[in-house]
Every structure is written in C-alpha cells, then in structure tokens.
Amino acid sequence: MQNVKLFITGATGFIGRRLCEVIPEKGFAVRPALRRALDTDGIVVGDLGPATDWSAGLNGVDAVVHLAARVHVMVDKAGDPLAEFRRVNVAGTLNLARQAAGAGVKRLVFLSSVKVNGEATEFGRPFTVQDAPAPQDPYAISKFEAEQGLRQVEKETGLEVVIIRPPLVYGPGVKANFLRLMQAVQKGLPLPLGLVRNRRSMVALDNLVDLIGVCLEHPAAGGQTFLVSDGEDLSTPELIRRLAQAMGKKARLLPVPPALLRLGGSVIGKRAEVERLIGSLQVDIGHTCEKLGWRPVISVDEAIRRCVGESVSQLRRCGDAGIMEIDFGKIQDIVRNDQHRLTLHAVERLIERNIQPTEIKEAILNGEIIESYPDDKYGPSCLVSGISHRRKALHVQCSVDPVWIITAYDPALSPGRWDKNFKKRKSE
C-alpha cells in the first residue's frame, strides 16, 4: 500500500508512538493528532470530546486509527466516572467517526478493550469474538457503547469500522501494573504468587501495532471485531520467571494459597488488583488469524527481552519510586536555561523522548517555594521537589500511577539551601 494518508489519534501515547514509528514502513503517510502544540509535526485538535473539531486532521485522509481515550484508572476522582467516560470515549469517538465519514475517510480502526468481554475467564475457556459482551466497570461500558455507536455510524454512512480488543499491552515504556511487577522482580522482592495456577493473555506492543497495520489494509477487516494476543498465555508465576530470566535475576516466589491472597485483598480493599494477579483472562485469537491470515510477529520471550532491555535499564532502586536519569545536556534546549520553571510544554517533550510520567499539567519551581496542583483541576498533580546542590539536579515528582521522579542533571543549576529544607520537610 503506497501513499495512503493515515490520521492517528493518541499519537503521543504508549501505543501511538510506536505505531507512528513503524507504520510508514508499510507505505502510510502519517498525520498525528496532538492535544496541543509540541515539537513534532501534527495537527493540534485539543481534547477528545463531543465538540472536538477534527476537520484539519481529516482533510484528504484515507484512514483513521483511533487510539485516544479516557483510560481506566485505579482511583477515579470524577464526580460521575461513567458520565465522563461516556463524554470522552463514546460521544468523542462517535463525533470523530461522523466527521471522518463526512470527510470521505474509507476506514476507521478503533482500539477498544478486552474488558468489553468481561473481567475474567474460567481456566482454559478463553473469550471469543462471538461471546456476549459483559463490560463491568465504567471504562469497559464506555468502550462497548462506543463500539455499538460505531456500528451504527458504519451502517448509516458506509464508513468501514474495524474494532480491536486487546488485553494487557506491554513493551518498552510500559507503565502501571506491568511496570510495578518488573520493578519488584528487578529489586528481588519475594512475591507470594508461587501457588497461582492461572492463565492470562497479553499482547506485545509490536504484535498489536502489526495487527493494526493489517487491519488498515486487509479487505476482509472492514466491519469486523478482532481479539488479539501473543498466542501464548502465561501464568503469573511463569511471567515472573521469564521477566527474571530476561533481567538476569532469580525469581523469588513464595507458596501462598490463592484463597489467602483473595482474603487479604478483600480485607485491605484490593480484591480487584489481587484478581488481576491470580485470576485467568484468556482470549481466543482464532478468528483474527483465520480472517486476516495474521500471526504474532514476535514471541513472548522476545517481547519480554525487548521490554526489559529498554525499560528496566532506565530504572534504579530508590524506595518505591521508579527513577530515570537523563543527561540535562540533552534537554537544555527544552528548558532554555530557565532553572526555576519546568512548563507543560517542556515536560511533554520529555515524555516524547520516553521519559514516562504521563499527563503532567504544570510544575513550577520558584526558588525554594514548592507548588503542586490538585488532580481535579489540572489532572495528575506535579510536585517540583527542588534543586539539590550536591547532585545538581532538578527533581519532579508526579502523582501518577506509578509515582515517577524525573532527575534532570544540570551542572549549570545554581546551588541553594534546598537540601536542608527538603530534609526538614521529610522529617515532618
């Protein structure tokens, strides 16, 4: 396929960045959508919602990959989470689809979620594409309703819609639960999962991106819904062993009965998190493989090696926080020698370079004054901890999950009395 113009939403996200890197190799001319102006080419469209104007991005486009969404979070501070998910993921998606159809776009690939099928499967009985949907939380409900709405738009306009429902996606730059698991293995922490006998499907980032490319091209993909995985389901203990092997570590698994883990999870209010570790969630990709002639392009072991090689190498131990260090010389053009201010624009450019705190809204360092913003006003709050004259570093701690600290080494930063004050704050 040559000279096909492709519009990608969510282009600066975990999946979108990788898609933008590799899809041009298949002959696509990529036009990324951006929420705000960055140091990359793209179309600024603002936030995803029912009133978003997509016309600039859709003009002359042949196909759309819709990755942008309000994502599932462990603690949702919205007053009405379902209403907010519907506003963004349902109304926002259908608004894009209708504008795409009006602009003459031929095909839209929509990234949904396996959570549309449900939260768990019985051991050895994977979800199939024919199963009745059973979404349970607001995020999954919004994805299912978006799927239903897209099918209606497809029927009314002739826009070809392809829906992909991935399970957990992992790869370089992965965050959340998978990253926490990697950190635990890297630190050599004993994990009470030795007696777990489950099966969970996952999909490597490169396998998912490859399937998206196939869904854009394949004539039989239009109007279809596809499940995707690596084709090899692992138990949680086996995943830990393979992560440890890739890291050159020894897996430390303690033989704790799953029933006891469930009880403990219930007591501390973490039952859902425990179930994701000890329960099964499998998908059957037979329909995907047969309909599209698709096969995963990399194995689980190779995907884990890539993930570990490019992610864990950036981490080092520091309490419970992930740490990344970057040579300030690489980003001094971003902060423009302004030692007291790290703006939203600057941090987003760091994120583009695989520094991984997400959705940082604004951080200000003004001498020794520390400012942070409430999550409900600016999104995840960002705390600029200060300047260490011994390390000559700018520290930014963000209330995202997991907590990240950016350490930007800057020999030019002026010494201050921050260390003394910071120690005092910690003791308080």
Query: pLDDT of 250-294, one tens digit each?
Result: 999 999 999 999 999 898 888 888 999 999 999 999 999 999 999
Position 317 scores a pLDDT of 30
Q: Is the pLDDT of residue 112 over 80?
A: yes
Task: Name the β-bridge partners of 119.
Answer: none
Fold held by 4-314: Rossmann fold (3.40.50)
- Name the strand (E) or helix (H) holding 365: strand 363-366
Q: Are 308 and 247 in contact (CB under 8 A)?
A: yes
- Average pLDDT, integer, range 61-76: 82
User: Residue 413 — pLDDT band, cuts 50, 70, 90?
Assistant: very low
Higher-confidence residue of 428 and 276: namely 276
pLDDT for res 226: 98
β-bridge mates for residue 4, sequence order: 28
SS3 65: strand
CB 280 within 8 A of CB 120: yes
d(CA 193, CA 236): 7
Question: What are the tokens at 91?
Answer: 């109304």
Average pLDDT over residues 185-191: 90
CB distance 321 to 403 below 8 Å: yes
Predicted local distance difference test score (pLDDT) of residue 72: 65
Residue 4's pLDDT is 82
For 200-258, what is each residue's pLDDT tens digit? 999 999 999 999 999 999 999 999 999 999 999 999 999 999 999 998 899 999 999 99
Looking up tokens 């690596």 gives 230
Select the more confidently predicted residue: 18 or 311.
18
Percent above pLDDT 70 for the chain:
69
In sequence order, which residues have a C-beta less than 8 Å from that of residue 418 and are 6 or more positions away? 368, 386, 387, 388, 389
Eight-state DSSP code of residue 354: T
Of the candidates 262, 227, 275, 264, the one whose C-alpha atom is nearest the C-alpha of residue 120 is 275
Q: pLDDT per residue over 172-183, tens digit each?
A: 888 878 888 988
Residues above pLDDT 90, as percent of the chain = 55
Contact 67, 52 (CB under 8 A): no
How confident is residue 78, by pLDDT bands cut at 50, 70 and 90?
low
Residue 395 token pair: 């520290």
Per the CB < 8 A criterion, the answer to whether 68 and 48 are in contact is: yes
Phi-psi region of 391 (alpha: psi -120 to 50; beta: other; left: phi over 0): alpha
| The pLDDT of residue 242 | 96
Query: What long-range pairs does 44-51 form, CB within 8 A, spacing at least 24?
Result: 45/9, 47/88, 48/9, 48/88, 48/92, 48/93, 48/96, 49/87, 49/88, 49/91, 49/92, 49/95, 50/87, 50/91, 50/92, 50/94, 50/95, 51/95
Mean pLDDT of the chain: 76
Nearest C-alpha neighbor of 285 from the set 116, 126, 404: 126
What residue type is assigned to position 73 of the chain? Answer: V
Angle 236-247/176-187 helices, nearest 10 degrees?
Answer: 60
* Torsion 100-102-105-106 (CA) sign: positive
Q: What is the mean pLDDT of residues 96-116?
A: 97
The residue ranges of every structural domain in the chain are 4-314, 322-427
Task: Give the residue, 50 or 418, on which the prediction is more confident.
Answer: 50
Average pLDDT over residues 397-402: 35
How many residues are present in the chain?
A: 428
Long-range residue pairs from 236-239, CB within 8 A, at least 24 positions apart, any chain: 236/193, 236/196, 236/198, 236/200, 236/277, 236/278, 237/193, 237/194, 237/196, 239/181, 239/200, 239/202
The mean per-residue pLDDT over the stretch 12-33 comes to 91
100 φ/ψ angles, rounded to the nearest 5 degrees: -65, -45
- Per-residue pLDDT, averaged over 164-187, amounts to 89
Q: Six-digit token pair at 121?
A: 């499967």
Long-range CB contact pairs, 310-316, < 8 A, 24+: 310/172, 310/173, 311/172, 311/173, 311/174, 311/179, 311/182, 312/182, 312/186, 312/247, 314/354, 315/182, 315/183, 315/186
Over 90: is that where the pLDDT of 421 sits?
no
Q: Which residue has the higher pLDDT, 341 or 256?
A: 256
Give the pLDDT confidence of 352-374 residue by residue, as tens digits.
443 333 333 233 232 222 233 33
Contact 206, 171 (CB under 8 A): yes
Residues marked as catalytic: 139
Q: Compute the C-alpha angle 239/244/250, nearest 5°.
A: 125
Q: What is the pTM of this model?
A: 0.74
